[in-house]
Amino acid sequence: MTDLPMPQSGAMPAPKSSLMVADARTRRRNAAEKRFRLYGAGAIGIAMIALVVLLSSIISGGAGAFRQTYLSIPVALDAETLDPKGNRNLDEMSKVLTLSYGKVLDRAVEAAVASSGIEIAELAEKDIDNLVSKEASAHLRDRVLADPELVGQTVDVNVLVNGRIDGYFKGRVTMESAAADSNTSPQQLMLADALREQGVLVTRFNWDFITNPDASDQRPEAAGVGVAILGSFYMMLVVLLLAVPIGVAASIYLEEFAPKNRWTDVIEVNISNLAAVPSIVFGILGLAAFINFAGLPQSAPIVGGLVLTLMTLPTIIISTRAALKAVPPSIRDAALGVGASKMQSVFHHVLPLAMPGILTGTIIGLAQALGETAPLLLIGMVAFVREFPAAPPEGLFDPASALPVQVYNWTQRADPAFIERASGAIIVLLIFLFCMNLLAIFLRRRFERRW
Amino acid sequence: MYDINRAESAVTQQDIKISAKDVQVYYGDKHAIKDVNVEILDKTVTAFIGPSGCGKSTFLRCINRMNDTIPIARIEGKIALDGEDIYDRRVDPVQLRAKVGMVFQKPNPFPKSIYDNVAYGPRIHGLSRNKAELDEIVEKSLRGAALWNEVKDRLNEPGTGLSGGQQQRLCIARAVATAPEVLLMDEPCSALDPIATGQVEELIDQLRSEYSVVIVTHSMQQAARVSQKTAFFHLGNLVEYGETDDIFTKPQDSRTEAYISGRIG
């Protein structure tokens, strides 16, 4: 203390800095902090804008898939055409092809147009017949075969209209584009407008999009994600049943029981590496191991599920280990201290505390698997599948599609109507992912405990 | 120092509960405990004192084999409980720890109800045949830990919701509930305020009538207050071991004297 220079008595004390004025250093630090806050807010802003743009473009593009135009007309189910022998025998009736139902439908549409009294110049017969979707006659056939007694009666049906007319009401098709289109014509669109005014053509919510299977290139209006939802669901089932128990058990062993030596180090590094392997590599592995070597069927949810299991395992193991590591060691000591065995301490105390973390990691892993496309392309899930797979377990071996692959598939098709379907399928996929994340948050809240 | 209310010093019973012979502990290359020989008596409070890092906690953890959970720890020598070598191959550490309970430095109740905290040990060891017996054990243990009156109306509330001192007494109740023969306490009061410390110390003095209590402390006053025997550790060596009164009034070793008079430590 004594060697500090003391102000001489009487002299002015050295000018002290005032607290009222920030010095240069403080100003610089405050400016730096302010800049950093701005960067942060800017980053969040950009992220939010990107999210809004993404969501609005998907929703504006895909909302149309959930509304569909139907033609509701009475159809006279002509017994001579549909049941030539007249005995309502299903085996014989099923020999009548979709083509004949098409003719019945054509007659019904022509009759409906004639009775509506609409007069449009240069309206060709083809324009009238083409009002309904090519899929409509197949639907009618299914309905009749399910209930043969309908033959001979006149029934009211709601049939899908042609994708072009549906597109016209959604703004995708215009009079100008129709003039250049061999599949439609301005006259047909005018007829559609007139029919709509009379209430014969109605646009309503499209449950068929969610329940129908995929449809061919010429019939975008009939395409749905039913098979894809089922296929994705089956794959998630396989992933849930395999990846979760294996992943959690592996992490518990590695984290709590395994000796810490060079081998476990190698395993640890490799698990981290596996998490970073591109997903398409897992697809090639699945193709080689499960299809070529093990001989499992192509396009089957079981193979997709196995591949996604391999892909999800590292994610689940890493997040489970992190959750186990986060449990304070004092809890383990406490359990061991009262004479619990290692296993009792893990299963009675550590695991319940790690549960929220494990569940969150698992659900995020599952969500990742649900949205994965690349490996599924390689094992044949991209195939055109119209048949619904059977109920599990046999259904796991039936061909199926998957939601993200269905999106990819539809974006490859020529008809712009499929773009709308693809966006619609993305919305369905996003709703599923959103629900899974909601479940993760709910479970986390439910299991979270203080310690 | 002089106004401290010393615990009753006369050791009434002289049975040897734990005897350690030439105990060495290594953490990897580090020689943490060197040639420790000590005989701990039954129904006595024995205090381990010494500066930080002197190995007193390490040695304490050897007595119920908690060091087994540290992969790099290696123990040589012999520690016997009632004449049986606890490091014998046939000894299951889980069985040992039921006999040698432990209370840790930081209160670490399970994030469960107060009742479940205490009942956990008896449950896994099968000490009760029915709910009534378990209730009885829980009540007896909580009474033994001088906590019953404070928590009897809220046994189903989480143990983590108690105050620090209550939590530590809950941990003592949990340790007592498994009916141990020895109670090890690793700086049980270091996270507590003076009032809670006083309550726990009083409790330790009561526990002496039933158990052999070994307490690690870095507070010499505490050692003088609660213990009958004191062992002074320094740099991994057991420097001096004897009656608490003797250690504090006429230490034989110059290092002990230096420590208790505050010159090292």
Q: Give the pLDDT of chain B (265 residues) as one tens digit per residue.
A: 444 444 444 444 468 889 999 999 999 889 988 999 999 999 999 999 988 888 888 999 999 898 888 888 889 999 999 888 999 889 898 889 989 999 998 899 998 899 999 999 999 988 888 999 999 999 999 988 888 988 989 999 998 889 888 999 999 999 989 889 999 999 888 888 888 888 889 889 888 888 899 999 988 889 999 999 999 998 889 999 999 999 989 888 888 888 888 876 5
Neighbours of A422 (CB within 10 A): 23
Task: Please judge whether B175 and A337 are an interchain contact, meaning their C-beta atoms are less than 8 angstroms apart.
Answer: yes
CATH classification number, A226-447, choose in 1.10.3720.10, 3.20.20.80, 1.10.510.10, 3.30.1490.20: 1.10.3720.10
In the sheet that holds B16-27, the strands lie side by side as B84-85, B73-81, B16-27, B30-41, B237-243, B229-234, B45-49, B212-216, B182-186, B100-103
Query: Residue A71 carries which DSSP code?
Result: E
SS (H, E, C) A146-178: HCHHHCCCEEEEEEEECHHHHHHHCCCCCHHHH
- pLDDT of the residue at A4: 54
CA dist., res. B116 & res. B98, Å (int) = 17
Q: Which two tokens stand for residue A324?
A: 């186990």
Residue recorded with tokens 């449809």: A215
Q: pLDDT per residue over A11-26, tens digit each? A: 566 667 788 888 889 9
- pLDDT of the residue at B7: 45
By Cβ distance, the residue of A259, A331, A339 closest to B110 is A331
Domain count, chain B: 1
Task: Please judge whether A333 and B66 are an interchain contact, meaning their C-beta atoms are less than 8 angstroms apart.
Answer: yes
Task: Assess if residue B156 is contained within a domain.
Answer: yes
Task: Assess if residue B2 is contained within a domain.
Answer: no
Residues of chain A in Cβ contact (below 8 Å) with chain B: 259-260, 328, 330-341, 344, 348-349, 353, 449-451
H or E element: which one contains A94? none
Q: Given phi > 0 = left and psi -120 to 50 = alpha, else beta, which region is B253? A: beta
**Is the Cα dihedral B107, B109, B111, B114 positive or negative?**
negative
pTM of this structure: 0.81
β-pair partners for B232: B49, B240
Domain limits at B142? 16-260
- The answer to whether residue A42 scores a pLDDT higher than 80 is yes
Q: Which amino acid is at A421?
A: R
Q: pLDDT per residue over A160-200, tens digit each? A: 888 888 888 888 888 888 888 888 888 888 888 888 888 88
Residues B41 and B15 sit within 8 Å (Cβ to Cβ): yes
CA dist., res. A317 & res. A337, Å (int) = 28
- The answer to whether residue A253 scores a pLDDT higher than 90 is yes
**Is the Cα dihedral A438, A442, A443, A448 positive or negative?**
positive
Nearest of B76, B136, B98 to residue A336 by alpha carbon: B98
Residues B35 and B241 sit within 8 Å (Cβ to Cβ): no
By Cβ distance, the residue of A328, A330, A340 closest to B124 is A340
Half-sphere exposure of B125 (CA within 13 A, CB side): 26
CA dist., res. B183 & res. B176, Å (int) = 8
Residues A429 and A407 sit within 8 Å (Cβ to Cβ): yes
B104: chain A residues, CB-CB within 8 Å: 330, 333-334, 337
Query: Residue A132 carries which DSSP code?
Result: B
Torsion of Cα atoms, A246 then A354 then B135 then B153, to 10°? -150
By Cβ distance, the residue of B69, B120, B160 closest to A450 is B160
- CATH number of the domain to which B25 belongs: 3.40.50.300
Task: Assess if residue B170 is contained within a domain.
Answer: yes
Cis omega (within 30 of 0) on the bond before A393?
Answer: yes
By Cβ distance, the residue of B104, B108, B125 closest to A339 is B125
Q: Which whole-number Å values give the CA distances from A442 to A315, A360, A361, A448, in the listed order?
A: 20, 10, 13, 10
- pLDDT of the residue at A15: 65
Residues A439 and A265 sit within 8 Å (Cβ to Cβ): no
Nearest chain A CA: its distance from B6 CA (Å): 30
- The answer to whether residue A399 scores a pLDDT higher than 90 is no
Task: Please judge whether A334 and B109 are an interchain contact, meaning their C-beta atoms are less than 8 angstroms apart.
Answer: yes
SS3 call for A239: helix
Query: Residue B158 carries which DSSP code?
Result: B
B110: chain A residues, CB-CB within 8 Å: 331, 334-335, 349
Task: Please judge whether B111 and A339 are an interchain contact, meaning their C-beta atoms are less than 8 angstroms apart.
Answer: no
Task: Assess if residue B265 is contained within a domain.
Answer: no
In the sheet that holds A154-160, the strands lie side by side as A154-160, A67-76, A201-205
The mean predicted confidence, pLDDT, of chain A is: 87
CA angle B77, B83, B86 (to 5 degrees): 50
- The answer to whether residue A347 scores a pLDDT higher than 90 is yes
CA A48 to chain centroid, in Å, comes to 22
Q: Which two tokens stand for residue B52?
A: 């930080």
User: By CA distance, what is B168's nearest residue in A?
Assistant: A334
Q: pLDDT per residue over A148-161, tens digit each? A: 888 888 888 888 88
- pLDDT of the residue at B203: 87
A341: chain B residues, CB-CB within 8 Å: 94
Residues A207 and A223 sit within 8 Å (Cβ to Cβ): no
| Beta-carbon pairs below 8 A across chains A and B | 70
Residues of chain B in Cβ contact (below 8 Å) with chain A: 64, 66, 69, 71, 94-95, 97-98, 101-104, 106, 108-111, 120-121, 124-125, 158, 160, 171, 174-175, 177-178
**A226-252 vs A301-325: helix crossing angle, rounded to 10:** 40
CA dist., res. A422 & res. A413, Å (int) = 10
Domain map of chain A by residue range? 67-205, 226-447
Nearest chain B CA: its distance from A285 CA (Å): 38
| pLDDT tier, A394 (very low <50, low <70, confident <90, very high otherwise) | confident
By Cβ distance, the residue of A334, A336, A339 closest to B110 is A334
Task: Assess if residue B223 is contained within a domain.
Answer: yes
B108: chain A residues, CB-CB within 8 Å: 328, 330-331, 333-334
Task: Assess if residue B9 is contained within a domain.
Answer: no
Task: Please judge whether A330 and B95 are an interchain contact, meaning their C-beta atoms are less than 8 angstroms apart.
Answer: no
Task: Please judge whether A339 and B109 are an interchain contact, meaning their C-beta atoms are less than 8 angstroms apart.
Answer: no
User: By CA distance, what is A259's nearest residue in B?
Assistant: B71
B101: chain A residues, CB-CB within 8 Å: 337-339
